[in-house]
Chains A and B, each alone.
Chain A
């Protein structure tokens, strides 16, 4: 364009510069943004390709069509009611409470979640509870259109009634095995709460009974349904963490309910409670309301921290690593936060050793072998400690979400760390089952949100109760065949490990497993030690 033309159009060079001056700015900013985003994406891709983790939720369990499964509930207390709700049966009292809560807090989704829960095509036909109030609550709530429920005074009558195909057992621990064995013998499928058994002898007896019977048997470790477990298994399989030498799992609780100091019902009396039936194979003591409602506080009926809560954490790790029963266990602790007459500890540390186990190695062969699993618990503080698997190459936080951090001294990731492609303080991998995909190299802000559980948590009504999924899996195996994720093998390992913890605590010494049995200790009958109503024997 000539100067003449410029003049004619009225646009000088100066005008052109002023008019179009923004264009190079736009170009630069666009280029800078796109190349930075591209670089982040490439880094993330290269980490994800290095790790190559398959993030996948467990396959859905089979369909629920056909004749309804007739289920009986044995033990309709706190946990029994939860289990029935997960099966589709909420008591009138619970529904009433939830409606009240919802009126006060419209964000409470529990009622909505329950109403949205899939129908499992179950009839709740029988209830057995030794406390009249509990049994009557089941009758008044579940005798309704389409469902008839009958009360049985004893579990034996219930199992032999011919009214049930399957039972859910939510009794105190000392009843778990006797009822499960009787059910197996009657050909009735079993869902039993943890711990699977209360002593060593019945652990073997139950395993035999289940193997003989062919019933579908599940232990209530609903954590197995946590969606991140298959992903965690893949992380271990691909040796992302390197050799895991130490795992920590924890219980932190700081309230009366968490310390098993449950409410004592006002109607509790020798007239409303069948005391002999409650005591069962435990040592007979005079009627005692506290023993009945707060049974978890005594070894005679409960199993302390090692049986009650450690079992969940042990099973979560066993589900990922399949490391089985520890070679040795050393436990310590005491009654330090609730000195109320209980005889089970409320602070407890259990060290479980697996000297021959390895998750894999990134270093020279033979250098690494063996692992310790530490369970650490207090009922006097509720600081949130995460479950952590510590490997030579990376650490993995395991929960609903799964987060992996590279170790600053890792062999496998040395080059990427050196090149600043990985930062030990920023997760190299994060999997959230509620998210659409996976994320790596999350920013500090994203980390802040993730740590608060704000990213991709179950909202929008998509939250599913893991107990529901666990019961669904059990019912699917009854209907369609298949093996439950926490069956007799897993239950056996869980129970033996729990008993080793309890024995070590009570005897103040190391307890060994020789591959077939807990190594006997001269001068002691180990089952007597476990059941003894003394806090510690030594």
Chain B
């Protein structure tokens, strides 16, 4: 995968896409992190579709605290890693998992009540689109071009080709 050669336009489009999605995840995570009364309870209780029972169960008193914490943790760390450019493929997968859960709890299936949403959707909604964008990022990594990962790549490369200069 590292062998993919991007044109300038391609690499900057992918980098911006990565940072934008990271930005979105991080902000959502931080807002919740700094608001102690935030909870996904209402969102989960209003779940629709075939997995309604699972999400309603998750909203229960015994599970909701863990669900809220995990949600904040995943949102914040996926956001951080995507922006910083470290473990971006793993982050993309985690983000995909989270978005899939969001989608399944309120799927935009025809016939289901849409709930509070700012647009109109039929099967495909913004959660699903953001999820697909993360799939793109998974397959077209950019952290070796822009991000902390660059240092690891360089170091690896240096350690094999320029051992002497590093030792000096």
Contacts and interface: CB of A to CB of B under 8 A. Distances in A.
A associates with B: yes
Contacts of A30: 26, 30
Interface residues of B, number: 42
Contact of B83 (A25, A460, A462): A25
A448 B162 CA distance: 62
Interface in A397-414: none
B31 A37 contact: yes
Interface stretch (B1-9, B33-41, B95-103, B126-134): B33-41
B23 interface: yes
Interface in B147-168: 147-148, 150-151, 154, 157-158, 162, 165-166, 168
A29 B83 contact: yes
A450 B42 contact: yes
B45 A455 contact: yes
A144 interface: no
Nearest to A462: B61
B84 interface: yes
A33 interface: yes
Given A33-B26, A36-B31, A448-B116, A21 B158 contact: no
Contact of A456 (B29, B31, B41, B85): B41
Interface string B77-108: 00110011100000000000000000000000
A8 B151 CA distance: 14
B71 to A, nearest CB: 15
Interface stretch (A419-427, A438-446, A498-506): A438-446
Contact of B151 (A19, A29, A444, A460): A19
A10 B158 contact: yes
Interface residues of A, number: 39
A137 B136 CA distance: 69
A115 interface: no
Contact of A18 (B27, B46, B80, B146): B146
B145 interface: yes
Contact of B45 (A34, A41, A445, A454): A454
Interface string B45-61: 11000000000100111
Interface of A: 8-11, 15, 18-23, 25-26, 29-30, 32-34, 36-38, 40-41, 437, 439, 444-446, 448-450, 452, 454-457, 459-460, 462
Closest A-B pairs by Cβ, 7 of them: A33-B30, A37-B34, A449-B42, A22-B84, A19-B150, A22-B83, A455-B42
14 contacts: A11-B151, A19-B150, A22-B146, A25-B23, A25-B83, A29-B83, A33-B27, A33-B29, A33-B33, A36-B31, A454-B42, A456-B42, A457-B45, A459-B60
Interface of B: 19, 22-23, 26-27, 29-31, 33-35, 37, 41-43, 45-46, 56, 59-62, 79-80, 83-85, 115-116, 145-148, 150-151, 154, 157-158, 162, 165-166, 168
